[in-house]
Amino acid sequence: MTLNKIKNPKVMLINPPFYRFITFSYAYNPMGNRYIAAMLRKHEYETYVYNFDFPETISPKEPDWLPYSENYGEQYKMEMDNLDNPIWKEIEATLGKVKPDILGVTSMTPQMNTGLMVARLMKKINPNCVVVFGGIHPTSVPYETAQYPDIDVVCAGEGELTMLDLVQTLEKGGDLRNVPGLAFFDKAGEYCKTESRTLIADLDSIPYPIRDFPTEAEREFMLHRGSILTSRGCPYSCTFCARKPIWGKSIRYRTAENVVDELDYMHHELGIKNIMFEDDTLALRFKRMQELFALMEQRNININYTIQTKVHVVKPELLELLKKTGCTNIAIGVESGSQYTLDRIKKKITLEQVRTAVRLCKEFDILCNSFFIVGYPWETKEMIQETFDFMKEIDSSVVHLYMLIPLPGTELHVEAQQENRIIAKDWFYYYFQNPNAMKRDHFSNEWLYDKYLEMKEYIHRSRRDKIKQRSRSMKFIYNKVKDNIDSPKRLWYMGKRFIKLQISDY
């Protein structure tokens, strides 16, 4: 299929709003768009990146939970569908200001509705704009995604080379059938899925993600806590995880030198002092970790950082290295307090390994974030209580709790479809606070929601008490002042949070 030839194409890459519509202040950095933008700019294409889900105000407090109903979240969706909402007015103004020739939209599953709304607004402003959807959801269901009338092309899988190839092809007026990694309906209405694009073997060949931000608030927040990705992929097969369609099961690594070059730029040029390593399993190769941190020491890169890893690699020798090099926080996926459930979701860990990992983090004075899920279709009330009891037993520094959502691209989604469990008929409702995405065997969704709120209340109370206690230490206060000394606005914000914490429930 050939579209109109675009001379000197201007590209705009956006992350559509979602959390803003459910009143959840969640500041996150969609790195995929920033990597694609870096690749396009390297080839001298004018490219802009906007995160339309960045909150107006950043708050650690979650929104008030809605009362349970079978139509849970419907009022959020009604507000999302209202084009008079100020969020849509702001987005429409930005689209009109940039006037891109090519609009790239990244989308997780619950963002599809808002992504389509952005596409509709874009076509209203410029009917000839080529709208491209990519990310986890479109990659998982390319045929369905390509059917929407305001979507011209789906970019399936890893995006850097596919988007570059697509933009170059559009600039030349070439045939999209020759671009690997695409899905679309041609002008005759026939579905076309081109050959899959091979994953990028040499990650060092990808330019660093761009780090310019359209607003001062976003810039200040994102440069206070930077993100870096040193590898892609995960060798495990957790049945609830939707990342495999993008990156596959093998792990590809950047060289330590390439990673440290980026860290050097982030720390010494941009002034970033706090880093989040976004790798799914950063610590699987201990020798690579040693090499990485030795190079960081040689380059005088003194940062605080957070990692994510599997519990079975959390051992004294790893924690000793992490503590010495500035690690303040380790995030681990626990998922359940039932060994039966862990085995069934192919987590490949044991409860005893979790106990050991959390205990060792405490011994080395490294915060441990644990992540749990409730609402698996086979779970009994007793299994969920086991999870609650286990959560209390390990007593990690911070606990995150979600309800299971059978996301497209996951083994659990396939099972849920085969067993006729899916309730949610709209992608908007596939978010982790919605109890009604699917049917369960042993309890009602209302019971699940009530139990979830009981567990969340315990988590918030426990977290509040721990933060309150930790915040009163001189070491904590000193580190917070040191980390924020270059930003009077952040110091003021931290000061207000400290006072509020001491005199209120949060």
**Each residue's pLDDT tens digit, 48-94:** 999 999 988 776 666 668 889 999 989 999 999 999 999 999 999 99
Q: What gap in Å lies between CA 108 and CA 33, rounded to an integer?
A: 13
Q: Are 263 and 228 in contact (CB under 8 A)?
A: yes
Residue 504's pLDDT is 64
Average of per-residue pLDDT across 365-390? 98
Using the predicted structure, report yes or no on whether residue 194 has a pLDDT greater than 70.
yes
Q: Quick one: pLDDT band at residue 494, thresholds 50, 70, 90?
A: low
- Look at 66 and 158; give whichever has higher pLDDT: 158
In 398-475, DSSP assigns E strands to 398-403
Residue with tokens 């000394």: 485
Mean pLDDT computed over 138-150:
97
Q: Poorest-confidence range of 249-258, 404-413, 458-467?
A: 458-467
Using CA atoms, how far apart are residues 353 and 334, in angstroms rounded to an integer?
Answer: 10
Tell me how far apart the alpha carbons of residues 301 and 262 are, in angstroms, rounded to a whole number. Answer: 11
Write out the two tokens for 212. Answer: 């310019």
Residue 56 DSSP code: S
- What is the rounded distance in angstroms from the CA atom of residue 2 to the CA atom of residue 186? 9
Name beta bridge partners: 132. Answer: 104, 153
Helix axes 160-172, 31-42, angle to 10 degrees: 50
Picking from 227-241, 356-370, 456-470, which range would have the lowest pLDDT averaged per residue? 456-470
- Segment 438-457 shows an average pLDDT of 97
**Which residue spans of the chain are classified as CATH 3.40.50.280?**
11-193
Fold (topology level) of 11-193: Rossmann fold (3.40.50)
CA angle in degrees (0–180, nearest 5) for 21-24-26: 115
Strands (E), 194-284: 225-228, 231-232, 252-253, 274-277
Q: What is the pLDDT of residue 489?
A: 66
pLDDT-derived band at 393, boundaries 50, 70, 90: very high
Tell me: pLDDT of 106 over 90: yes
Domain limits, CATH 3.20.20.70, in the chain: 229-471
Residue keyed to tokens 């899905």: 183
Whether the predicted pLDDT of 506 surpasses 60: no
Extended strands (E) in 80-234: 102-106, 130-134, 153-155, 182-185, 191-193, 225-228, 231-232
Q: How far apart are CA 123 and CA 143, in angstroms?
A: 21
Residues 275, 239: Cα–Cα separation, whole Å: 29
* Between 484 and 312, residue with greater pLDDT: 312
Q: Which residues of 257-287 are buried (b: 16+ CB within 10 A; e: fewer)?
A: ebbbbbbeebbeeeebbbbbbbbbbbbbeee
381-394 vs 351-363: helix axis angle to the nearest 10?
20
Of the given ranges (63-72, 180-189, 269-278, 366-375), which has the lowest mean pLDDT?
Answer: 63-72
Residue 272's contacts (CB-CB under 8 Å, 6 or more residues apart) are 223, 224, 225, 226, 266, 303
Confidence of residue 475 (pLDDT cuts 50, 70, 90): low
By three-state DSSP, how is residue 394 classified?
helix
Main-chain dihedrals φ then ψ at residue 37, nearest 5 degrees: -60, -40
Q: In the structure encoding, which two tokens stand for residue 240, read together?
A: 């609830």
Q: Which amino acid is at 227?
A: S
Alpha helices per DSSP H over 15-85 = 31-42, 74-80
The per-residue pLDDT for 246 is 85
pLDDT cut 90: percent of the chain above it: 79
d(CA 238, CA 236): 6
**pLDDT confidence tier of residue 205, bands split at 50, 70 and 90:** very high
Return the residue matching tokens 């440290």. Answer: 260
pLDDT digits (tens, 9 = 90+) for 307-320: 999 999 999 999 99
The Cα–Cα gap between 506 and 184 comes to 49
For residue 321, give the amino acid letter: L
Cα dist from 346 to 1, 8, 237, 239, 485, whole Å: 42, 48, 6, 6, 45
Q: How far apart are CA 435 and CA 73, in angstroms?
A: 10
Of all residues in the chain, the percent with pLDDT exceeding 70 is: 92
Mean pLDDT within 299-303: 96
More confident residue, 244 or 50: 50
**By three-state DSSP, how is residue 195 classified?**
coil
Count of alpha carbons within 13 angstroms of residue 296, beta-carbon side: 25
- What pLDDT score was predicted for residue 465? 80
CATH topology classification for 229-471: TIM Barrel (3.20.20)
In terms of Cβ atoms closer than 10 Å to its own Cβ (0-12, 13-18, 19+), residue 67 is: exposed
